[in-house]
């Protein structure tokens, strides 16, 4: 049996205090469409290159420390405008890393419930 070397992200799953409200933020940011299902919400991918998100109700106290986060990649030269758009949707800029690595620049933000995520851009290869 031969396995395909390609693996893609089907959906990012996480919990939220208010899945409906948070789904509006994430669908606005990613362009995906919201599909509510009871207390949980599925955000369908925006096109072939997109990824889904499944947001379910928080099952207990919010952890003190976030163990994983999304790194979203945008075309070179668009990071600043994408960060501004995320802020307009309700994100908070936490910090920028612009000069530490020649192969990437990124901004770390938090969504309206405090979940960290990054918006990164990589310079074109010469």
Residue 9's pLDDT is 85
Residue 63's pLDDT is 81
Q: How do residues 74-126 score in pLDDT, each as one tens digit? A: 999 999 999 999 999 999 999 999 999 989 999 999 999 999 999 999 998 87
Domain at 10-59, CATH from 3.30.700, 3.20.20, 3.30.70, 3.30.720: 3.30.720
CATH classification (class only), 68-126:
alpha beta
Q: Residue 100 is inside which H or E element, if any?
A: strand 92-101
Residue 1's pLDDT is 64
Is pLDDT at 13 greater than 90 in this prediction? yes
Q: How do residues 28-41 score in pLDDT, each as one tens digit? A: 999 999 998 889 99
**What are the domain boundaries of the chain?**
10-59, 68-126
Q: What is the mean pLDDT of residues 32-58?
A: 92
- DSSP assignment letter at 49: T
- Measured between alpha carbons, how far is 11 from 8 in angstroms, rounded to an integer? 9
- b/e string for 56-68 if b means 16 or more Cβ within 10 A? beeeeeeeeeeee
Pull the structure tokens for residue 51.
Answer: 């990824």
- Identify the band that residue 48 occupies on the pLDDT scale cut at 50, 70 and 90: confident
């Amino acid at each position: 049996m031969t396995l395909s070397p390609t693996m893609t992200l089907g959906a990012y799953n996480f919990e939220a205090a208010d899945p409906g409200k948070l789904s509006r933020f994430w669908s606005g940011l990613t362009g995906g469409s919201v599909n509510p299902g009871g207390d949980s919400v599925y955000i369908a991918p925006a096109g072939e290159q997109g990824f889904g998100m499944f947001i379910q109700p928080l099952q207990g106290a919010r952890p003190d420390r976030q163990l994983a986060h999304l790194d979203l990649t945008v075309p070179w030269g668009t990071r600043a405008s994408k960060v501004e758009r995320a802020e307009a949707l309700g994100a908070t800029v936490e910090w920028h890393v612009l000069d530490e690595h020649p192969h990437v620049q990124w901004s770390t933000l938090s969504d309206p419930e405090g979940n960290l995520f990054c918006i990164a851009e990589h310079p074109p290869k010469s």
